[in-house]
Amino acid sequence: MHLTNYAINKTSGNFVKNDAVDDDGGSKRTLTTVLDYMEENEPNFSREDMLDQIEDICVKTVIAVQPALSHAYRTCQPDDRENSMCFQILGMDIMIDQKLKPWLIEVNHLSSFGTDSPLDKRVKFDLIHDTFHLLNLSIKRKKK
């Protein structure tokens, strides 16, 4: 098995840059594309089971670090009783092994939002858009 991260992989002579918004033909892939590939090529693969397992890993990881994160947030903003002034985007790196089992590799609390390609831009824009949607930001809430 060989693992490499994007920052290292993109310097390889074998790296194929994604020049379009989709991930056809490039070295970087979205989760949707990976799951599509697995559905087509792995007879015992279930997209729903895989997503459930990945969600389980992510939820358990957040539960494990929640007390430390909560303490850090309360230290920075002690008067924020609703805990609405702080949030953090965590990047969770998941590896899928040959038995189709997902494993947590690492959690990044300072994920990069730099974009090297249109695909990067699309994925990260959608992530930030969804984050603001989850925060339920509005003038009414800000005034409150």
Q: What is the pTM of this model?
A: 0.80
Using CA atoms of 52, 56, 58, 63 in order, give the dihedral in degrees to the nearest 10.
150
Return the sign of the alpha-carbon dihedral for residues 76, 79, 80, 85: negative
Cβ-contact 72, 87 below 8 angstroms? no
Residues 47-82 have pLDDT tens digits of 999 999 999 999 999 999 889 888 888 888 878 776
b/e per residue 21-39 (b: at least 16 CB within 10 A): eebeebebeeeeeebeeee
For the chain, which residues make up each domain, given as ranges?
Answer: 25-111, 112-144
pLDDT of residue 2: 45
Residues 14-43 have pLDDT tens digits of 888 888 887 777 888 889 988 999 999 999
pLDDT of residue 112: 82
